[in-house]
């Protein structure tokens, strides 16, 4: 079964712990934490303090803290996020001059390393690093803001990445982020994704977080 990783960026931050607990209770296994610096992407979000604040809940429930660094110079912050409690730290190929070194630095902290790329970046940029990572993230929107529409060409990209992972016998997770909801999640999982990030589809709308989580999980 796929794993649901709700993006806390779309939650009500005045009720962050409550919203995250509700999502986990409904069946979400991970919590996705989008870190943006206003330089690599045109938005500013959160830092290690939020990861640290969520760690007790993660320890209590067994949830995985899935941290996505959409920042310049990610090497400067790997240790801080790992110390705060990140279980997975994902970096962008576009932001890392020495990607192997960055991935090794993440693993050295005890966190699991992940790699991602923007929608217009070719999968060929991942070929040399795939054997070294535990997760690969396909961005199906341009990173920076929640609530965007899924880019249709992402489905073929997911399918091609799944073939690349299978070809090298990789057990890395294939995660997808951007515009995924109950109405298209079956398309995404059918193409080969096994971790689904959803933000507004979980924390937005008129239904409860629990109802939204169950709607997504019933649709895949």
Strands (DSSP E) found in the chain:
3-6, 30-36, 64-70, 88-92, 112-117, 135-139, 173-177, 195-198
Q: Residue 77 and residue 74: Cα distance in Å, rounded?
A: 5
Q: Residue 123 and residue 173: Cα distance in Å, rounded?
A: 15
pLDDT of residue 40: 94
42 burial level (CB within 10 Å; 0-12, 13-18, 19+): exposed
The answer to whether 83 is a known catalytic residue is no
Is 3-219 a CATH 3.20.20.70 domain?
A: yes
Torsion of CA 209, 215, 218, 220, to 10 degrees: -100
Q: Residue 145 and residue 186: Cα distance in Å, rounded?
A: 23
Whether the Cβ atoms of residue 12 and residue 203 lie closer than 8 Å to each other: yes
Q: Residue 11 and residue 7: Cα distance in Å, rounded?
A: 8
Per annotation, catalytic residue among 134, 166, 177, 194: 177
The pTM score is 0.96
Closest by Cα among 109, 30, 121 to 75: 109
pLDDT of residue 97: 94
What backbone phi and psi angles, to 5 degrees, belong to 6? Answer: -60, 135
Per annotation, catalytic residue among 34, 37, 66, 87: 34
198 Cα distance to chain centroid: 9
Characterize the bridge pairing of strands 195-198 and 3-6: parallel
The answer to whether 177 is a known catalytic residue is yes
Q: Residue 77 and residue 161: Cα distance in Å, rounded?
A: 28
C-alpha distance from residue 49 to each of 54, 55, 71, 77, 218 (Å): 9, 10, 16, 12, 33
pLDDT of residue 200: 94
Report the chain's terminal Cα–Cα distance, integer Å. 9
pLDDT of residue 42: 87
Per-residue pLDDT for the chain (220 aa), expressed as one digit of tens each?
A: 999 999 999 999 999 999 999 999 999 999 999 999 999 998 899 999 999 999 999 999 999 999 999 999 999 999 999 999 999 999 999 999 999 999 999 999 999 999 999 999 999 999 999 999 999 999 999 877 777 899 999 999 999 999 999 999 999 999 999 999 999 999 999 999 999 999 999 999 999 999 999 999 999 9
């Amino acid at each position: 079964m796929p794993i649901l990783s709700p993006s806390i960026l779309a939650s009500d931050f005045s009720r962050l712990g409550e919203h995250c607990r509700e999502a986990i209770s409904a069946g979400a296994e991970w919590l996705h934490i989008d870190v943006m610096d206003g330089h690599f992407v045109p938005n500013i979000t959160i830092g290690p303090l939020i990861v640290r604040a969520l760690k007790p809940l993660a320890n209590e429930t067994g949830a995985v803290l899935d941290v996505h660094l959409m920042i310049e110079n990610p090497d400067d912050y790997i240790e801080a996020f790992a110390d705060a409690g990140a279980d997975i730290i994902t970096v962008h190929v576009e932001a890392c001059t020495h990607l192997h070194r960055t991935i090794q630095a993440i693993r050295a902290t005890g966190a699991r390393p992940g790699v991602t790329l923007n929608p217009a970046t070719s999968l060929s940029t991942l070929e040399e690093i795939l054997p070294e990572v535990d997760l690969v993230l396909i961005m199906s929107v341009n990173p920076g803001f929640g609530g965007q529409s899924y880019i249709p060409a992402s489905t073929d990209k997911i399918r091609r990445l799944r073939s690349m992972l299978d070809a090298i016998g990789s057990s890395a997770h294939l995660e997808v982020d951007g515009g995924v909801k109950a109405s298209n999640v079956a398309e995404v999982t059918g193409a080969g994704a096994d971790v689904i990030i959803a933000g507004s589809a979980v924390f937005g709308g008129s239904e409860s977080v629990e109802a939204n989580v169950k709607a997504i999980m019933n649709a895949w």
